[in-house]
A and B are shown apart, each in its own frame.
Chain A
């Protein structure tokens, strides 16, 4: 089965510093929280990624306090996506199932 319309996650759970997913096609994948945070699909993060990196960017106190990216909450959105609320307060990223599959890597047991 490809990452098409029928593909669904059967279970999702935190494992260490990332998210383990068992998919309906029998594949198990893992994606680090940092990978998800870096690839947040929301409009403002998309726009930031299209700009050249700012070498003089000051890290905010909130970002420093948050430390490594961690989800505070991750909730289903209808039948097609999950929304993550991050420990830095960012909460507008809605990850479609296809994006979760693309960003994660299959595990070999």
Chain B
């Protein structure tokens, strides 16, 4: 953990703690988090991925995992060389999650403080959409290195991305950059189609003074690979999408290295 950060034993071996967030649901946040985690690993980093989407955990499916027996399984679960934790691993979670805010906050805090994450270069946190209990708990409990904001190009996503960005700023959590997902589609004819328009992420970054980390194109195989339990960057590393994630991971590593150390000094009482 970086110097000056609050001493949470479970996170002592984690160098960079990065939230992957968005204001809006459905922008592909979990897909980005899963592929970005693997891209960082391909850059030689030791990586963990914590699924903080308590209501809709999707990391287990994307990583080809299901429920495990919590009595006999050591957490975090390991797959593809990543350390993973999600409420979706617990069998009861499949019955439908009806939780009030304080319980969501409790689960997020539990994942951060009770799971032995060990030595990691990066712990990515796949956030639920919005600016609620999970986000607040995360920013209060852990001294994040920073957050990356995922958006799609259209205005309806950008409006909520700004809210998420402002929330992190209010909580003094650095925003490491903006990622534009579903940026464009390259057809069999070689032409580039901007299905949801293009450039919204870049515009958001420019208007808010935040670095733009990159575009991720649309590829139907992204969804197929996610549903099949092996993210596209592993299954089709030759695709433009996979290459985009590798570039993105490099940009994130650059920003994280430049980020100010997290945490506040302890009070001498």
Instruction: State the A residues within 8 Å of B (CB).
Output: 5, 8-14, 19, 71, 73-82, 94, 97
Contacts and interface: CB of A to CB of B under 8 A. Distances in A.
A5 B169 contact: yes
A61 B40 CA distance: 57
Interface stretch (B52-60, B83-91, B140-148, B231-239): B140-148
Interface residues of B, number: 20
Q: Which of B141, B169, B264 has the most CB of A within 10 A?
A: B264
Given A5-B172, A97-B172, A79 B265 contact: no
B139 interface: yes
* Residue from A12, A14, A97 having most chain B Cβ neighbours under 10 A: A12
B267 A13 contact: yes
Given A5-B172, A97-B172, A78 B140 contact: yes
Nearest to B138: A78
Contacts of A79: 139, 143-144, 171-173, 262-264
Nearest to B142: A78
Given A81-B140, A94-B140, A76 B172 contact: no
Given A76-B6, A78-B171, A80-B170, A9 B265 contact: yes
B156 interface: no
B98 interface: no
Contacts of B171: 78-80
